[in-house]
Structure formats: C-alpha cells, structure tokens
Structure 1
C-alpha cells in the first residue's frame, strides 16, 4: 500500500499541492482527476521521485521512504509519460532492455527474454526491431508501458495516457490497465478524461487548484 500524508509542493511562493493526503491499496487503480492547473502532473512527479516536495510523508507497505531521495526509487515506482519519452535512436527492444541491464544488472539475455514476453503480451510481436518513428501513437505508448514494467515496479503511474488517442485506442489502454490490475499491479492514473477515469478506477482522487 502507498500512503501519502500532508504532501505540500510549492514553486517559488506559489502553492501547487497543499497538505494532500491519500492512500492506494495494493492492486488498486487510483485515478487523479481535476482541471488544468490543479497540480495533477506535479503530484505524479512527486510520487514518482521526479520532483522534490516541500513537506509530507510517503509510506510504502508501512515503511517510510522518500521517492525523490531514495536510491532505487525508479524500480519501486514506474512512470509512463504523456509524450512516451522513448529513445529515438534505439529500437523498441533496446528501449525496453536498456534500463534493466544498467540499473537492475540483468544480463542481456535475461533482459531480452523478459522484454519479448512483455512486448508479446502488449500485442507488439514483430515490432522489436523497429524504431519509435516507425510506430503509431498507440504502439509507442505500449512500448513505454513495456519499458516501465521492465523495471519491475511495485506501482505504475501514467500521465494522461489517453490524451492523444482516439476512442478505440482509449479502450485498448483501458484493457491494458485492467489486465495489469489482474496481475496485481498497483496503478495511479492522471487523466482529464472522466469517462476513462470512471471506466478504470477503483477509486478517484479529485484535485482542484490551490487558491
């Protein structure tokens, strides 16, 4: 379980997140919804350790940790970015296997075998030798999910996963997220798409701009 107590984040003198507390149970899907400027992405960046925070406490399975400072946080909380952030000069397979080899110290063979299984499950068979520019938006997103899963995170976060997708592909993302839940993955989804949020969420966190 992830538990966050009294999280506050400021940029200069402006408060973006003000004493926010919530928790996410294991295998649960939490959607974070709210208008633009409410701090949804900033909250996700704080959770994933990409952004520092001014005050607050994080607990994972009852143990206190700081996602910004603790080494190994990237193998605890994974992120699927809105713009995917794939390496354009690497193939799909290399995008997925690079971090496990460098950070988790997996062998090239082990990383490749795991990657091919994940790519197959995400319906990317035969795409492993392509480059990002050769993929559709939906395919890039699935590669980004495979890359995040390759780090074996306990929690997987998504930043606006349906923002650039048509309705059919939104349904595909929904199926992927629900499938990962069946595998026991805890997931946090930032989205402005209320229909999507209602479809995938076990519970929702509504955030509003701090006045």
Structure 2
C-alpha cells in the first residue's frame, strides 16, 4: 500500500502541492485528474523521486521511503513518461534490456529472456529489432511500459498516457492498464481525461491549481 502524508511542494514562493494526503491499495488504480497547472505532474514526480517534496512523508507498506535517494535496484516505483524518453539509438529489445543489465546486474541472456516475454505480452514481439522512430505512437507507449515493467516495480505511474491518442489507441491503453491491474500491479495515472479516468480508476483524486 502506498500512502502520501501531508506532501507539500513549492517552486519559489508558489505552492504547487499543499498538504496532499492519499492512499493507494495494492493492485488498485488511482487517477489524478485536473487541468494543466494543477500540480498533477508535480505530484507524480514527487512520488517517483524526480522531485523532492519540501515536507511530508511517502510510505510503502507502512515504511517511509525517500524515492529521491532510493537506489535504483531497490526502487519500487516505475514511471512511464508522456514523451516516453526512449533511447533512439537502441533497438526495441535493447531499450528494455539496458536497465536490468546496468542496474539490476542481470546477465545479457537473462535480460533478453525477460525482454522477449514483455514484448510478447505487449504485442510487440515482431518489433524487437526495430528502432523507436520506426514505431507508431501507441507502439512507443507500449515499449515505454515494457521498459518500466522490466525493473519489476511495485507501483507503476503514468503521465498523461492517452494524450494525443485517437479513440482506438485510447481503448488499447485502457485494456492494457486494466490487464496489469488484474495481475496485481498498483498504478497511478495522471490525466486530464475524466472519461478515461472513470473507465479505469478505483479511486479518483481531483486536483485544482492553488490561487497565487
């Protein structure tokens, strides 16, 4: 279970997050919904360790963690970025293998085996030897999810996973997230799309921009 207690984050004199409290049970989906500038992505970055909160606590299974200083091999939280942040010079298979080899110290054979399983699971098995630029937007997103899953996180976070996707791809993302939920994956989804959130969420957190 993930818990956030009194998370506050400022940029200069502007308060972006003001004593945010939330909890996420194992195997559930939390959607954080709000307009641009409401602090959705900042909250995600604090949870994932990309930003350090000014105050508050982050707990996993009752134990306080500091995602910023947590070693990668001990990290329980994975992130799928809106822009995917794939390595353009690496093939699809290599994108997935890189972190398990470098961070988790897996052998090349072990990392490859796991990567192939993930590609099959996400319907990308025939794309293993392609480069990211040869993939569609939906395929890039699935690759980004496969790369995050390769680190075996306990909680997976997404920043605007349906942004700029057509309805068919939007439904595919919904099915993928619900499929991961059925396997016990806890997920946090930052989105401005309330309809999408209502289709997948066990819990919805609405955030609003604080008055300056």
State the TM-score, normalized to the length of structure 2: 0.98
Shift of 1:74: 7.0
Structure 1, residues 69-104: CA drift from partner, whole Å, max 9, x if none? 222377310000000000000000010000000111
Q: Distance in 1 between matches of 2:31 and 2:76?
A: 19
Q: Distance in 2 between matches of 1:20 and 1:116?
A: 39
Q: Distance in 1 between matches of 2:127 and 2:148?
A: 17
Give the match for residue 81 of structure 2. Answer: 81
Secondary structure of the residue aligned to 2:152 is coil
Mapping 1:67-106, distance limit 5 Å? 67-72=67-72, 75-106=75-106
Give the match for residue 178 of structure 2. Answer: 178
Give the match for residue 157 of structure 2. Answer: 157
Unpaired segments of 5 or more residues in structure 1? none
Secondary structure of the residue aligned to 1:3 is strand
Structure 1, residues 168-206: CA drift from partner, whole Å, max 9, x if none? 000000000000001100000000111110001011011
Q: Distance in 2 between matches of 1:16 and 1:163?
A: 22
Q: Distance in 2 between matches of 1:45 and 1:101?
A: 25
Whether 2:7 is the aligned partner of 1:22: answer no
Mapping 1:122-133, distance limit 5 Å? 122-133=122-133
Q: Distance in 2 between matches of 1:11 and 1:207?
A: 17
Secondary structure of the residue aligned to 2:126 is coil
Aligned length in residues: 211
Shift of 1:46: 0.4
Structure 1, residues 134-160: CA drift from partner, whole Å, max 9, x if none? 000000000000000000000000000
Q: Distance in 1 between matches of 2:60 and 2:126?
A: 37
State the TM-score, normalized to the length of structure 1: 0.98
Mapping 1:1-211, distance limit 5 Å? 1-72=1-72, 75-211=75-211
Q: 1:78 to 1:61 in 2, by over 3 A?
A: same
Unpaired segments of 5 or more residues in structure 2? none
Shift of 1:52: 1.1
Contact 1:74 1:153 in 2 (8 A): no
